[in-house]
Structure 1
């Protein structure tokens, strides 16, 4: 583990962890505790509060150090000089939204998520050079994602009164137990709208339990896995790139595929009338997502009907030509 501290900083802003192994594994643990074979980009944030990340520069005229914070317009060019060799401005707070019909600026400001989503888009008439940097592009995406999450957390932290966090039941219970609020530490409450927060995960878990309580056990469990050889992915790759170099394409294509799949199951009723459904998306190594889908059917499936539903073979081009149309119907592998 290597830790890098900037001058006049009490805590490290970045920690880079490298996991290696030199010991041979026994036959019992082989395949369980192997070192990762794929290098992936990740960020480890130290501390409970997300502190501001910055760059420390040394001026040419003197030996003084100057900080450039992550919300400064020059942060992206200083942190990634290869990607922004001309010193293009990055995200800052003073970017105004533009009315697409009139072209005039509005009073609303552009968020960091909207700004970087705009930068990562694929345009037919413009060559987006950011999409050609492979691993550096991965680092850039992870870095900017942390910036987006930091902006969201700061908004929640400084707008607790608007979120009415003082009315949460646990805070009221703590005040009632202590008798007074003098010893209650001022905490930042994450609402359920913040994706990944404990309240958000608890809300989804309660929704899942409600399905089971109302509809009983699910009838079908379907696993839908992303295929990096899908033509929708390979056709958009630049020369010399693989699917692991473009997680943006993989995520967008998988989102469209899972939407088409759910419409095929629920609206076209390929398994019958569906009374309820839910799915969860997980991400594997190399950035390949897969979804676990639960289905509740109006007509319960009997044990003697299982063999007519389960399919464990690749569709044949001659007998099942409709399953080869990847643009409209994705290949589905079903299992109970």
Structure 2
């Protein structure tokens, strides 16, 4: 997040477009995407209608417009804006937000109102300020079209619904991964704006994945003692990679084997696979299972959704892939195609699968 006003003679960008030189806002927005004169497909009328929609519906935009009014009338150059990181009432999670619950304008020193999860926007400042992923307005600020009301996103103290019957965490709070999975589910009779985002929805999914991974890494970083990382001194790791420099030894942040795709995760899977090979011999099949967007199940699903392309709904593609993958595993384990399996985690004489680089090994 940058400042409310641009520095020097710079053109306004991002949130500054809501505050600075709003009389020419349409042209400023078009210029931001057509600075080289090569993008001639931008429609000025669509931009005008989007600005009108945000001014009427989006509470975040209304807060920025309030800052604009203050600058135009009083010229307050020490004005700051704060976006609150904690909401006062959990019961209003799914209600439309109001401006007084989001934040406010402060003249002069912020003082004790500052919080590590609040977003403090200065009047003029160089550089960008990092916005924590735990702020409830994190996604609404980045994707105003997908969250047109400026509604809340994930926050750490979000509670489970009282009627929820599925597995819950020990803390009785909704984890970030579960919240995002809930957001991208289809709910009849209508689809949410999020699922209609096209390429913007793809970008949202990538951003959400990176946010979840960052949250997992933050937990590991902050809970090293609880993860029993004191048993890792770095000596065995250094020997395994041939490091003879004692200055490089020591304990830093340890990624446990439970973190998917970490070095210890890969080594553990490799050692498990070699142990199975020593017991049952070399593998018989090495199968790579891939997805085809021309599968009849995928084509049939998109026939119900006119205007969509397979790349617009990666959630549907991944779900169908998972169902067909599970069906393939059940078919192999049934013994019909290759006979009884010799190794499995589910029977005494069983079959074993290890997932490395999207490949699957089978032992019979």
TM-score, with normalisation over the residues of structure 2? Answer: 0.56
In the TM superposition, what is the alpha-carbon distance from 1:195 to its structure 2 partner? Answer: 0.7
Find the residue that maps to 2:178 and give its secondary structure.
helix
Task: Go from structure 1 to structure 2 and tell me whether the alpha carbon gap of 1:295 and 1:122 turns closer, same or farther (over 3 Å shift).
Answer: same
Find the residue that maps to 2:258 and give its secondary structure.
coil
Instruction: Output the CA distance in 1 between the equivalents of 2:237 and 2:301.
Output: 55
Q: Does 1:292 align with 2:356?
A: no
Instruction: Output the CA distance in 1 between the equivalents of 2:144 and 2:272.
Output: 46
Find the residue that maps to 1:202 and give its secondary structure.
helix
Q: What residue number does 1:177 align with?
A: none
Instruction: Output the CA distance in 1 between the equivalents of 2:171 and 2:227.
Output: 23
Is 126-135 or 84-93 further displaced after alignment?
126-135
Find the residue that maps to 2:257 and give its secondary structure.
coil
Instruction: Output the CA distance in 2 between the equivalents of 1:203 and 1:215.
Output: 18
Instruction: Output the CA distance in 2 between the equivalents of 1:93 and 1:126.
Output: 28
Q: What residue number does 2:226 align with?
A: 162
Q: Does 1:219 align with 2:284?
A: yes
Segments of structure 2 that go 5 or more residues without pairing to the other structure are 4-63, 71-75, 81-120, 123-128, 239-246, 343-350
In the TM superposition, what is the alpha-carbon distance from 1:89 to its structure 2 partner? Answer: 0.8
Task: Go from structure 1 to structure 2 and tell me whether the alpha carbon gap of 1:252 and 1:240 turns closer, same or farther (over 3 Å shift).
Answer: same
Find the residue that maps to 1:251 and give its secondary structure.
helix
Instruction: Check the 8 A contact 2:134/2:156 in 1, yes or no.
Output: yes
Instruction: Output the CA distance in 2 between the equivalents of 1:173 and 1:146.
Output: 27
Q: What residue number does 2:147 align with?
A: 84
Larger-Rg structure: 2
Which aligned segments of 4 or more residues in structure 1 are displaced greater than 6 angstroms? Answer: none
Question: CA offsets, 1:163-215, max 9 Å, x none?
Answer: 110112536999xxxxxxx9975511111111111111111111111222111
Q: Does 1:143 align with 2:207?
A: yes
Q: What residue number does 1:194 align with?
A: 259
* Larger helix fraction of residues: 2
Instruction: Output the CA distance in 2 between the equivalents of 1:122 and 1:231.
Output: 20
Instruction: Output the CA distance in 2 between the equivalents of 1:265 and 1:183.
Output: 47
Give the root-mean-square deviation of aligned CA atoms: 3.1
In the TM superposition, 1:5-20 aligns within 5 A as none
Find 2:340's aligned residue among 268, 273, 293. Answer: 273
Find 2:185's aligned residue among 121, 127, 131. Answer: 121
Task: Go from structure 1 to structure 2 and tell me whether the alpha carbon gap of 1:169 and 1:70 turns closer, same or farther (over 3 Å shift).
Answer: closer
Find the residue that maps to 1:89 and give its secondary structure.
coil
Find the residue that maps to 1:234 and give its secondary structure.
helix
Q: What residue number does 1:229 align with?
A: 294
Question: CA offsets, 1:142-181, max 9 Å, x none?
Answer: 111111111111111111111110112536999xxxxxxx
Find 2:198's aligned residue among 130, 134, 138. Answer: 134
Task: Go from structure 1 to structure 2 and tell me whether the alpha carbon gap of 1:199 and 1:172 turns closer, same or farther (over 3 Å shift).
Answer: closer
TM-score, with normalisation over the residues of structure 1? Answer: 0.60
Instruction: Check the 8 A contact 1:73/1:89 in 2, yes or no.
Output: yes
* Larger strand fraction of residues: 1
Say how many residue pairs are matched: 227
Find the residue that maps to 1:294 and give its secondary structure.
strand
Instruction: Output the CA distance in 1 between the equivalents of 2:319 and 2:356.
Output: 13
Instruction: Output the CA distance in 1 between the equivalents of 2:189 and 2:299.
Output: 20
Instruction: Output the CA distance in 2 between the equivalents of 1:195 and 1:110.
Output: 21
Instruction: Output the CA distance in 2 between the equivalents of 1:98 and 1:107.
Output: 14
Q: Does 1:247 align with 2:311?
A: no
